[in-house]
A and B are shown apart, each in its own frame.
Chain A
Amino acid sequence: MSNFSKAFSSTLGRKLIMSLTGLFLCSFLIIHLIGNFQLFKNDDGLGFNQYAHFMTHFTPIKVVSYLLYASIIVHSVWAIIITRKNRAARPVAYAIKPKDGSIWSSRNMGILGTIIFVFIVVHMSNFWYKYHQGYTPYIEYQTDVKTGATTSRVLDASEFKQYTVYVENGVEVIQTEDLYKEVAIAFQQWWLVAFYVLAMAALAFHLIHGFQSAFQTLGWNHRKYFPIAKFLGVWGFGLLIPIGFALMPLYFLFK
């Protein structure tokens, strides 16, 4: 076996794969959150729809998004392989449940991960799938270049050819898919909102353990810098990011 395959097929190598894919997915969360903040803008979805179009049509981002889908799959499949191997390492359970001082989320990454995986499937079939299949509604924005005032009107599917931007008589016209409306409608359903909030809670606990754990696995447990990873893991990835995401469905439900 070459060193390379030995590295990745060992117990440590499998951890390495989990940590690298996990950190890559974490980096995506930051981008996704920042972009989605446009949902809170009071512009009838103009900013958000433009952003959504850019993210799905700009080639470098498309390449990264395929890496992302692959990471989700690898992270999940490897989790299953690792869990099975780890169970096999203790075939007879203890009669008394061990008390070991470990934090709850560190022992339940699999359950948390499963909730997140189900969430990703629901989330992608709600928005990603509909968007890519052209099931979303369409909209036209007209912005007066001088005053900056924008009006919008619903476009019928038959009127929409493709995403277009042009300026005519001092008015900027944008015709686009209206993912914003799709989002706004979806989040009128309280049970979907409840599921999103629950999934974000699972994400929070998953990342409180997972983010710092990735650095420990990479061997970057440095006396000075590891506390930074721990801090970011709890306050950034464990709280700020999941709360930011959870606010989006809540915003539309109570809007």
Chain B
Amino acid sequence: MSGHMNLTLKVWRQKNSTTPGKFVTYKADEISPDMSFLEMLDVVNEDLVKKKEDPIHFDHDCREGICGMCSLVINGEPHGPKRATTTCQLHMRSFSDKDTIVIEPWRATAFPVVKDLVTNRSSFDRIQQAGGYVSVGTGGVPDANEIPISKVIADEAMSSATCIGCGACVAACKNASAMLFVSAKISQFALLPQGQPERYARAEAMVLQMDEEGFGGCTNTYACEAQCPKEIKVTNIARMNREFFNAELIKS
């Protein structure tokens, strides 16, 4: 393994949602290339705590790329330079010794900064609550394969369902649009038989809630697809458009 790295961090520090923030420079010395990006921040924070300074606040939970809590725009890229990788799964070997790393929070009206790098993403929760579910009576356990679903469709629905709701698509989009997220959530149900009864009501409710939250509109730059850690495809957005126009103009 290569030797340890000495890095310079420029981190966005902001006391709370009402105080304006600024960049503060920190040294991160003796960083192992095998650490994850968040572990590197932990090291910096331990130092800050020892010095009785306020540690850098950032979101994280599972640290294994499945919960969608971690965020961070690292040198202009949501979740950092590595494709299809969340910040918690990003290793310091993606950087080199003496690098300067600029760390910013997600920037969007609908994701206000809570503190430092932590943003409030409850707008996503409200979109989900508006229609991202199926209402089913939970009876006994159904038999396997009772409802036949072709492999192609099942795979497509599954890959839409891999969206972890991290918000990197919003962070990457020049319009701070949430359409990749919302379309993934609409698609995973629109494709499956279980999603049919509420199909059009769901599309309408989720899209209108998305607008309500103040996300921008999609201009098809496809930056979201490039930056999504779960490689959610923009074909989902086309499907969402179809579902929504059907809901508003044809099926009702």
A residues less than 8 Å from B245 (CB atoms): 7, 12, 16, 218-219
CA distance A68 to B218 in the complex (A): 25
Instruction: Judge whether B126 is part of the interface by a CB distance below 8 angstroms.
Output: no
CA distance A6 to B247 in the complex (A): 11
User: Which of A80-88, A124-132, A187-195, A238-246 lies at the interface?
Assistant: A80-88
Interface bin, chain B: 35 or more
CB distance from B152 to the nearest CB of A (A): 10
CA distance A88 to B219 in the complex (A): 15
> A95–B216 contact, CB under 8 A?
no
> A86–B216 contact, CB under 8 A?
yes
Instruction: Judge whether B237 is part of the interface by a CB distance below 8 angstroms.
Output: yes
> A89–B77 contact, CB under 8 A?
no
Are A94 and B241 also in contact (CB < 8 A) when A99-B76, A102-B226 are? no
Instruction: Judge whether B157 is part of the interface by a CB distance below 8 angstroms.
Output: no
A residues less than 8 Å from B207 (CB atoms): 10-12
Interface residues in A1-34 by Cβ distance below 8 A to B read: 3-4, 6-7, 10-16
Instruction: Judge whether B248 is part of the interface by a CB distance below 8 angstroms.
Output: yes
Are A107 and B216 also in contact (CB < 8 A) when A12-B241, A90-B107, A221-B235 are? no
Instruction: Judge whether A220 is part of the interface by a CB distance below 8 angstroms.
Output: yes
Q: How many residues on the A side are at the interface (Cβ–Cβ under 8 A)?
A: 41
Are A106 and B221 also in contact (CB < 8 A) when A3-B248, A94-B107, A100-B226 are? yes
Instruction: Judge whether B23 is part of the interface by a CB distance below 8 angstroms.
Output: yes
Interface residues in B224-244 by Cβ distance below 8 A to A read: 226-227, 234-235, 237-244
User: Which of A150-158, A199-207, A209-217 lies at the interface?
Assistant: A209-217
CA distance A102 to B226 in the complex (A): 8
Instruction: Judge whether B102 is part of the interface by a CB distance below 8 angstroms.
Output: yes
CB distance from B247 to the nearest CB of A (A): 8
> A88–B76 contact, CB under 8 A?
no
CA distance A93 to B215 in the complex (A): 15
CB distance from B52 to the nearest CB of A (A): 28
User: Which of B24-32, B33-41, B42-50, B173-181 lies at the interface?
Assistant: B173-181
Are A96 and B75 also in contact (CB < 8 A) when A10-B211, A15-B241 are? yes
CA distance A100 to B172 in the complex (A): 7
- Residue from B75, B107, B204, B217 within 8 A of A14 (CB atoms): B217
> A88–B109 contact, CB under 8 A?
yes
B residues less than 8 Å from A11 (CB atoms): 177, 179, 207, 210-211, 215-218
- Residue from A86, A99, A101 within 8 A of B219 (CB atoms): A86
> A99–B77 contact, CB under 8 A?
yes
Instruction: Judge whether A97 is part of the interface by a CB distance below 8 angstroms.
Output: yes
- Name which residue of chain A comes closest to B77, CB basis: A99
A residues less than 8 Å from B223 (CB atoms): 98, 100-102
> B221–A107 contact, CB under 8 A?
yes
Instruction: Judge whether A92 is part of the interface by a CB distance below 8 angstroms.
Output: yes
CB distance from B80 to the nearest CB of A (A): 11
- Residue from A7, A91, A94, A101 within 8 A of B109 (CB atoms): A91
9 additional A-B pairs beyond A102-B226, A219-B242, beta carbons within 8 Å, are: A85-B216, A88-B109, A89-B215, A90-B109, A92-B107, A99-B77, A100-B221, A100-B223, A101-B222
**B interface residues (Cβ-Cβ under 8 A, vs A):** 10, 12, 23, 73, 75-78, 102, 104, 107-110, 172, 174-177, 179, 204, 207-208, 210-211, 214-223, 226-227, 234-235, 237-245, 247-249, 252
6 nearest A-B pairs in the assembled complex, by CB-CB distance: A219-B242, A221-B238, A89-B216, A100-B223, A7-B248, A96-B76
21 examples of A-B residue contacts, CB within 8 angstroms: A11-B216, A12-B241, A12-B244, A86-B175, A86-B219, A88-B216, A90-B109, A92-B107, A93-B107, A94-B73, A94-B107, A95-B23, A98-B77, A102-B222, A102-B223, A216-B234, A216-B238, A221-B234, A221-B235, A221-B238, A221-B239
